[in-house]
Amino acid sequence: MSRPSVYLDHAATTPLSPVALEAMTEELAQVGNASSLHASGRRARRVVEESRERIAAALGCRPSEVVLTSGGTEADNLALKGGHAARRSADPSRRRLLVSSVEHHAVLDPAEHLAATGEADLGLLPVDHDGRLDLEALRAELGRGGVSLLSLMWANNEVGTLQPVAEAAALCAEHGVPVHSDAVQALSTQPVDFAASGLDALTVSAHKVGGPIGVGALVARRDLALTPLVHGGGQERDVRSGTLPTPLVAAFAAALEQAVAERETTAARLLGLSTRLVAGLRAAVPDAVLNGPALSATPDAAGRLPGIVHVSFPGCQGDSLLMLLDAAGVECSTGSACSAGVPQPSHVLLAMGRDEAEAKSSLRFSLGRGTTEADVDAAVDAIGPAVERARLASGRGTLRRGAPAQGSTQGSIQDPADRPSDRRAG
């Protein structure tokens, strides 16, 4: 018997918006390779270039700076591997690659790969208790010289912390160091303006803003040298070969345009829902801990994404809570990624100073365009019984006499933090 689910995992992926679906469906019925010279090819090319212009307008950049990719992971890899290789080729002394210690794995893994293969010396920059970059540590690292590139995400995918991207870019500019930022999570609620940011490269992805999975972009200044990762037809400025997926590109443009147009309204609505959710979770589980910056009255003063609520539940395993909530019809994310089936503590929470137990006890609830007050209330109703059962399973709780198995808002918990998102799912 099927049941409706409450979807609170928008940081992993968002539902396809109607405007994106319409744009994609229209193009799926057409034929033509955008690199072909005949009429069908020229028509496809026109759709791609008009979409590129719309994407550029939404991001505050030039159309020629938009390099279309298969998504955020490819764009991050192109920025790090391609940017570092080009920089080192021009100046072999530039061996040092800097990234924050709370980056998504789409940034951390290519950076660690470059270090493991001896192509780079990797520097992980520390963050504070809320997950915000330590700018003084960055200043000190830049002062040592030999830096090829800094990668600093716009907003953290697990706890929602906004990073001081503009300040970091200004510091790096003093040392002639290019800066890349993964802005995948920021697009729906933050004013992402490439030209105003001082950045040299920026990663975006369609499926985080109501677009389809399988398309994204690396926005890169024309004078930023990038060594290609893929060779072939020479598409996208000769740095990203491959046949362009016209239907996906058209849908990406439509979704992004809508997301930017609705950004302020969306941010305010999500902040209200998040505030309601946090209050409800704390009422159901009084010792629950909100990770990252505190919620504020307005989105622009929060220092965090308004739609991400990352909460630690003392005495629980995040994996157990996830499955209990899923059984109750509430879909969210846990903070523990799995490697070979073995849960690992969140590297984000560990970098924020949490211990390993805290870093395994959390859930991420991420809200989006379709989230309603009823969805939030359903999550609150389910969390108390789920926490009580999870604590009982871990040997750290007792089931109260007469306590309902499901559907009650009464419960107890005990522990902080963990990280939500699997490798690129967050």
Active site residues: 338
Phi and psi for 118 in degrees, rounded to 5? 80, 10
Point out which residues pair with 147 in neighbouring strands.
96
Say if CB 363 and CB 334 are below 8 A apart.
yes
Query: Which is nearest to 204 in space by CA: 227, 224, 180, 187?
Result: 187
Tokens representing residue 289 in the block: 């801990």
Query: How far, in Å, CA of 387 to CA of 281, rounded?
Result: 11
> What is the 3-state secondary structure of 190-223?
CCCCHHHHCCCEEEEEHHHCCCCCCCEEEEECCC
Say if CB 117 and CB 67 are below 8 A apart.
no
Please give the single-letter amino acid code of residue 203.
T
Query: How far, in Å, CA of 98 to CA of 86, rounded?
Result: 16
User: DSSP assignment of 233-248, as one string?
Assistant: S-TTTTTS-S---HHH
What is the Cβ-side half-sphere exposure of residue 117, based on CA atoms within 13 angstroms? 9
